[in-house]
A and B are shown apart, each in its own frame.
Chain A
């Protein structure tokens, strides 16, 4: 079964810390992987899309990496700020179709 897992479910860090969020997937036959941010009561905002042929994608303080062979992606956030507090979700687009499968997310709290 094609599954996506995010650990930990929740993370609390002090402001200014660099941090890594993890996403693992069970099938290496992926088309791409996307990271989203969700604020409470809101929809999902796309952060980064990383294609299966890429190893990294960067946007500002965010850097996403992809290792298909190990079934892992990480989202690195540099110099975290209280405004980064949100739930971060990863979603995998499998080669076998046009569906996105989501992990359950990591709820991040950045304390001032």
Chain B
């Protein structure tokens, strides 16, 4: 398995609270991605990073921010969680236009 770890694996939080999800890789891959997966929508890109401190928005970035201060860590923050952000979040890594590897996912419930 590719060295990619997501934490936490499960989280329940209240509406309006900030939440941070962490993705950690040991592969030294340049690109890191955050996706969310919802029934009827498949996987949708939230944000991605192409290097330390280099990030860009995906198709569903509203309400989310990211940071990458080290090659190995990519953080996804929900500034003020809403029920519509209840989802399964996946982190992915790859070196370039090559094979992508995914983490095991974080199941987030906003109540």
Contacts and interface: CB of A to CB of B under 8 A. Distances in A.
Task: Specify the main secondary structure of chain B where it touches its partner.
Answer: strand
Interface residues of A, number: 21
Given A42-B105, A104-B41, A98 B100 contact: no
Interface string B43-82: 1110010100000001000000000000000000000000
Interface in B65-111: 90, 92, 96-105
Interface of B: 31, 33, 35, 40-45, 48, 50, 58, 90, 92, 96-105
27 contacts: A31-B97, A36-B102, A42-B104, A42-B105, A43-B90, A43-B105, A44-B92, A44-B102, A46-B99, A46-B100, A46-B101, A49-B98, A89-B42, A89-B43, A91-B43, A93-B97, A98-B31, A98-B50, A98-B96, A99-B58, A100-B92, A100-B100, A101-B45, A102-B44, A103-B42, A104-B42, A105-B42
